[in-house]
């Protein structure tokens, strides 16, 4: 919108990734539609570099992504956690290629392995992202994978759901160049969790 500064957020691509979807939700929550744009990076080293050299203002990352620990440690000087939030992910499912008579094994991203019993599907192959599993199914290098359920909706003639998992509530981290903590805890005293603590404390007091 004219007259408003544009904020640049960066997150993990490619187009259609869960990171992109959740970042869009976050911007809507803060009323930033039209006042912020989302750039997509191939990995979080690239995303961090964009923020540090001021090509972007903020980075959004899922807290359970395999690269999160490295992001926090490697860029602790200059890249700071400025916000956290909870968001459901896209629906997940174990998707099978109908064209393969006897698919063997299961491709997945390591953090999602606990969502299923991998031994049920045979040998597990780890891939860098959930979207990489979807791309593997599309190009034929993967015959069964744990990925986004929409893949079977988009191409039902080719893909079928072997097991529907659904959405998962994930924790997300927003990084920026300006530190918001003064050394004390930064939290929301009126958060849903805080209300839960007060409710449980009151219930205990009535016993």
Which domain covers residue 144, as residue numbers?
92-166
Q: Is the N-terminal amide bond of 16 cis, ω within 30° of 0?
A: no
3-class state of residue 5 by DSSP? coil
- Compute the average pLDDT of residues 48-71: 96
Are residues 55 and 124 part of one domain? Answer: no
Does one domain contain both 20 and 82?
A: yes
DSSP code string of 45-83? HHHHHHHHTTS-SEEEEETTSTTHHHHHHHTTTT-EEEE
Question: CB–CB of 23/38 below 8 Å?
Answer: yes
In a domain, 146, yes or no: yes
Q: How many CA atoms lie within 13 A of 138 on its CB side?
A: 12
Q: Domain for residue 37, yes or no?
A: yes
Do the beta carbons of residue 40 and residue 15 sit within 8 Å?
yes
Question: Do residues 79 and 173 both lie within one domain?
Answer: yes
Chain segment 149-199, per-residue pLDDT in tens: 999 999 999 999 999 999 999 999 999 999 999 999 999 999 999 999 999
The CATH number assigned to the domain holding 99 equals 3.40.190.10
- Flag whether 32 is in a domain: yes
Instruction: Kindly state whether residues 34 and 103 are assigned to the same domain.
Output: no
pTM assigned to the model: 0.87
The total number of structural domains that make up the chain:
2
Q: What pLDDT, on the 0 to 100 scale, is given for residue 1?
A: 45
């Amino acid at each position: 919108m004219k007259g408003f500064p544009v904020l640049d957020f960066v997150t993990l691509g490619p187009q259609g990734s869960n990171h992109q979807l959740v970042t869009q939700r976050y911007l809507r929550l803060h009323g930033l539609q039209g006042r912020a744009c989302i750039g997509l990076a191939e990995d979080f080293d690239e995303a961090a570099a964009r923020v540090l050299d001021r090509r972007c203002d903020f980075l959004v990352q899922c807290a359970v992504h395999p690269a999160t620990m490295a992001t926090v440690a490697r860029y602790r000087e200059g890249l700071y956690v400025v916000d956290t939030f909870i968001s459901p992910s896209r629906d997940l499912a174990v998707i099978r290629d109908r064209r393969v008579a006897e698919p063997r094994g299961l491709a997945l991203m390591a953090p999602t392995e606990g969502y299923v019993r991998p031994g049920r599907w045979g040998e597990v192959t780890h891939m860098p992202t959930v979207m990489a599993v979807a791309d593997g199914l599309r190009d034929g290098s993967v015959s069964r994978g744990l990925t986004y359920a929409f893949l079977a909706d988009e191409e039902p003639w080719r893909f079928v759901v072997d097991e529907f998992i659904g959405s998962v509530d994930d924790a997300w981290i927003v990084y920026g160049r300006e530190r918001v903590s003064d050394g004390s805890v930064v939290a929301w005293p009126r958060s849903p969790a805080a209300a839960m603590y007060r409710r449980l404390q009151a219930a205990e007091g009535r016993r």
